[in-house]
Structure formats: C-alpha cells, structure tokens
Structure 1
Amino acid sequence: MTNESNSEVIVVGGGVVGLTTAVVLAESGGQVRIWAREPGERTTSAVAGGLWWPYRIEPEELVGAWALESLAVYEELASLPDETGVRLVEGVHGETALDGLGAWASRVAGLRAATAEEYRGVGLWARLPLIDMTTHLRWLRERFVAAGGAVEERTVTDLTAVDARVVVNCTGLGARELVPDPSVRPVRGQLVVVENPGVTTWRTSVDHSGAESTYFLPQPGGLILGGTAEEDAWSLTPDPLIAERIVKRCAAVRPEIAGARVIEHRVGLRPTRPAVRLEREILPDGRVLVHNYGHGGAGVTVAWGCAREAARLATG
C-alpha cells in the first residue's frame, strides 16, 4: 500500500449519506475521495421527496438524535434556498399525533396538533425542511470538492480491497450484495411529478401497515405526489396504474391536482434494514472500515447526524 493511500479516506457511495459524510470528513481536514458507481443524480437520493421526517428507519432512540442534529443544519441551510435547495415549508402530517412519536418530537420547534381548519382528523402541523434533492446533491458535491475532495465513478466489488487507510461504506441498498448483508431490503417508492396548480403547503397521510400513502410536496420543479411503500419490490419501471391511483388520492385532498399536467414519473428503492448500521470494523490488516447504511426512507432526514458519527468512528 502506498503512503498516499495510507493517509486517505475513501467513501464508497455517492447518495446523500455518502456525500454528506464525505463533506464532514473533508472539512475536518481529511484527504477524502468518493468512489461512486453512478453520479448523485442517478441515486435513490435524487428521486426522494425531500421532506425532513423520520420515516421507515430504526432504531428510534438513535434516529431521533441523528434527525435533530440534521434538522439544525437544514434550518441554517434554509437561509440560502436557491443555493442549497433547502426551504422551510409549512404542512400537516395527517393521522399523526404527538403521543405516538418518540421523545425527539418534543424538540421540533413549533410542532403542534393541527387545527380543524388545517386538517379534518388527527394531524400535526409543522414547518419543516423541504429539500429539492437535485439542487442539494449538486451543492453537497460542490462543497465537498471545495474542501479538497474528489469524486470518481468507480464500481466496488470488495470493500476490503479498497486501497485506503479508512473506508466508509455508504452504499445503501448496494450493501446487500457488497457486505454482503441480506437484512438490507428494498422498499419501492413511486412518485408522480405534476405542474403545481398553486399548492404551497405539504401534506402527508401515511399508512405504515400498507403499501400506499397519500402526500404532496411543493418543490421548485413541480408538485411531487406520492406514494408507495412496496416491500421487497425491485422494479424501477413506473407502473401506470399505480401512478393513476397516486394522482387520484392526492386529488381527493386537493381537487385542482386532478387536472395538473404530468411532468415526470419517478421510482426509488429505499434501503431498509431492521436498524441502521453505523459502526466501525477493524480489518485483518489493521485498516478501518466504517459502515453507514440502512437508512430506509430517511436518509436525508438523518444525513448530517449519521455523517458526524461516521466521521468520529473513522478518525477515532
């Protein structure tokens, strides 16, 4: 192994978790490179709705701290929305109550029960980060490069063969084969993007026991409509019948959505796991391998908290 690689950190994976982790490491003074199989705009992160909220991620006692740490960062980034892609937007989580959430919820400023005018039924009103992932992933990459980092398109087939002092595994669903870790499973999410007919607030209504949910998120490029949560489904091809049902469910809440022109169909596979794997492994030759994957539907939500923990594990 060369002296150069001996002092280097390589982050494997270029989605939001990999990019954020690489930013934290590079800004801490490390010599960092990202090895990614595909550019950020083709990762699962790129098709995410982008609303900050812990969703399909465990364990809650750790997730809450990671999510709150990330929330604080996004609140700062929201002062430059055009640059960072982060805005603070009002909305309602339907069929959700404070007493059904973990202790973290009491520390989210302004989170309260929705009024009858805001939501018919039990719901929570909040002003939360809504992140335009196209802009945000580009901004993260530029911030990483500005800190001295480099991004390379490379396919990794063996983590232990990556020639660096520290390797950080942020491969998401790819960890299923790469580690290998069969506990990582896909939860398929399908979205429809339409021209926004004037919707300025977000709304969610999620049935955690079912495969369908109803939500809409106003982003600069259009109104994102969702969604699905199909366990162990691998298809990246949009299903026209599912898309039709998504539009119909959202239009039942906001009738003006029914006539909106469809801009795009999106499909992403959330990398779910019984619990996020965020831990340090010492390889037989003494090098360090840090795992940071299994973030389910909340990679954006916990990205900064997990990145800082991964950086501590990498350098500690």
Structure 2
Amino acid sequence: MRGNGEVVVVGAGVIGLATAVVLAERGRRVRVWTREPVERTTSAVAGALWWPYHVEPMASARVWALRSLEVYGALAERPGETGVRLVEGVLGGTDPAGVESWTAGRLTGLRRATAREYPAGTGTWARLPLIDMTVHLPWLRERLLRAGGTVEERTVTELAEADAPVVVNCAGLGARDLAGDASVRPQRGQLVVVENPGIDTWLVSAGPDDEPAYLFPQPGRLLLGGTAEDDAWSLEPDPAVAQAIVRRCAALRPEVAGARVLEHRVGLRPVRDAVRLERGVLPDGRTVVHHYGHGGGGVTVAWGCAEEAADLVAAADSP
C-alpha cells in the first residue's frame, strides 16, 4: 500500500487543480506540473457558469455536475475568497420541468422566464453558481499549497518524465500529444469583456442562428460571449467575431451596445466525444490516470470528476 504516496498531476486548469486538491487533502504528496501559470490556463478564459456545456457522456456528467453543485454551494458562502457566487439568470431554450429533472430537484426557485427577462423565447429563471476564475484559480492553488502540494511551471513532452509512482494526466488539449489521442481537439471560444452597464443577472441563449450568446456579470466587468468553432487553433481575437458577439448580446440586453470594451479573450476548449477518465499503465509499469476531454464543461463537473479520479488513484494501491 502507498496511500500517502507521491502523485504528479500534469496540468493546472480547473480540472488539474481540483484533482490535485482532492488528492492532497486525502493525504497524497502532490506536485502539479503546468506549462503555463494558473492565471494563463484555458480555464482562466472560462465564463464560468455551472451548467453542462459540450461535455459527454451526459449520464456521467450529470453525476459529476451535481456533486460539483454541492461543493460550489458551500464555496459560495465565501465569495470574496473563493470567487464563487450564486447568481440568478436565464437559461434560454429550456423549460423549468426539464431543468428540474436534470438537476434532480437540487435547485429551488425555478420558473419560466418572462418575455422581459428573455425576449428570445422560452427560458428558465434559475439561481446557479457563477465563478470568477480570476479569483477561483488562484484560490484553488492556495488551497493545494495549504494541503502540502506544490505547483511547478515546466513543459512536459511525455508523461514518462513525471517522476512519481502515479501520474494524473489533466493536460486538456495537450493530451493530443502526451497521450497520443487525436480524438481530443480544440473548440475555439472567444469572448468580449466590457464595462458593466448595470446588469446583475446572467443570460445564456442559443440565438436564432444557433450562435451562442451569453452575458455573465463578474465583479467590475461583464463577460460577453461567445463562439464554438470546432478544430480552430488560433488564439488571436477576431475583430469581426467580437463585433458579432456584442451584436448578439445587445439584441438580448440593449444596454450593452455602447459598453466600453476592456479586453478580448480566446480559449481552446479540449473537446472529446467523451471525457476520458480511466486508469492505465505507463511503458515502465507506473500508474497513469487519464483525466481530460471536458470540453466547455470543466468548471461544471470539476469536483465530481476530481473525486472519481482520486478514487482511481487509490484503487491503484490495491494489489
């Protein structure tokens, strides 16, 4: 048995950090290796609303998401520290019965959105976790450090470089190379950060042309999105795309039309037909747990997934 044995987690997005935290708080000696600082990972670009988005298999994602909802509910009691708030808003294209069924009755206050709240059609008014990633990611890192873990910036070219009995591969899109998995591919997401003209509720809409539109109020700013371009690798903001995002959001909330632009952001979601969460063996016989392919739903499923990944690590201790 090596229940307090060392683990290297590759990747410091929300999936990697949450997994590292769970492992460290279960008594493991955890080192996180990350190519980019926590503040520059793909997760740092996330909106980030708790709701399943481009993540499969949906049955498993539901279990992971509901566990994560429970965790975020507790973290929302300390929003200034954790970056997690419970905020009201509208899920466009949904009805209350469907949302209630998917969330197993865990959400209270669900109702059909009024035409004023959501002029684009049917929507559900809900109170969901909305996470400020500029606060949440550093908080996760500090929680890991308090539990005895470490974070090291280094580029990994192959998983065998990790010098620990167990390696957890949370490399996201980097798993294409590290795990030789071409089925994980980029989905480009672009958003526009503007001065908030006074909007305090979030809104998500598919839009008449199936282009996504969302408005997420974060402290001191408003995030407008978004896009979902499959197999697009560019991290450069596209001015025409930014204009279209603002236009779609202004059609839903006219007051954002003249809001001053603060920043443009682009991230590449690690999309896969299904999340890969399984234990394997490296060429030298050491244990590897693959944990990637969460698409745009990483924040939503992070804690449930992290606990299952930690269970797989623990199972490797058994003869």
TM class by smaller structure: over 0.9
Gap change, CA 1:59 and 1:117, over 3 Å in 2: same
Gap change, CA 1:99 and 1:70, over 3 Å in 2: same
Q: Deviations over 1:124-145 (max 9, x none)?
A: 1110000000100000000000
1:112 is displaced (CA, Å) by 3.5
Separation (CA, whole Å) in 2 of partners of 1:158 and 1:185: 18
CA contact (8 A) 2:91 2:125 kept: yes
Letter in 2 for 1:257: V
Instruction: Quote the residue 1:129 is aligned against.
Output: 129
CA contact (8 A) 1:51 1:128 kept: yes
CA contact (8 A) 2:100 2:107 kept: no
Gap change, CA 1:208 and 1:271, over 3 Å in 2: farther
Instruction: Quote the residue 1:86 is aligned against.
Output: 84
Q: Deviations over 1:128-168 (max 9, x none)?
A: 00000010000000000000001111111111332111100
**Please, what is the CA RMSD of the aligned residues?**
1.9
Q: Deviations over 1:190-246 (max 9, x none)?
A: 000000000000001026994x21110000130000110000011000000110111
User: 1:139-218, aligned counterparts within 5 Å?
Assistant: 139-206=139-206, 210=210, 212-218=211-217
The aligned length equals 311
* SS of equivalent to 2:148: coil
Letter in 2 for 1:197: P
Letter in 1 for 2:206: V
Instruction: Quote the residue 1:56 is aligned against.
Output: 54
* SS of equivalent to 1:196: coil
Instruction: Quote the residue 1:277 is aligned against.
Output: 276
Of 10, 15, 18, 2:16 maps to 18
Q: Deviations over 1:53-108 (max 9, x none)?
A: 00001010000000000010001000100000000000001112356669533333
Gap change, CA 1:223 and 1:98, over 3 Å in 2: same
CA contact (8 A) 1:14 1:36 kept: yes
State yes or no: 1:34 paired with 2:19. Answer: no
Of 97, 102, 105, 1:104 maps to 102
**When the two structures are superposed, what TM-score results if normalisation uses the length of structure 2?**
0.93
Gap change, CA 1:102 and 1:60, over 3 Å in 2: farther
Q: Gaps (5+ residues) in structure 1?
A: none
Identity %: 67
Separation (CA, whole Å) in 1 of partners of 2:117 and 2:258: 23
Separation (CA, whole Å) in 2 of partners of 1:266 and 1:157: 27
Q: Gaps (5+ residues) in structure 2?
A: none
- When structure 1 is superposed on structure 2, of 95-104 and 29-38 the one drifting more is 95-104
CA contact (8 A) 2:9 2:30 kept: yes
* SS of equivalent to 1:228: coil
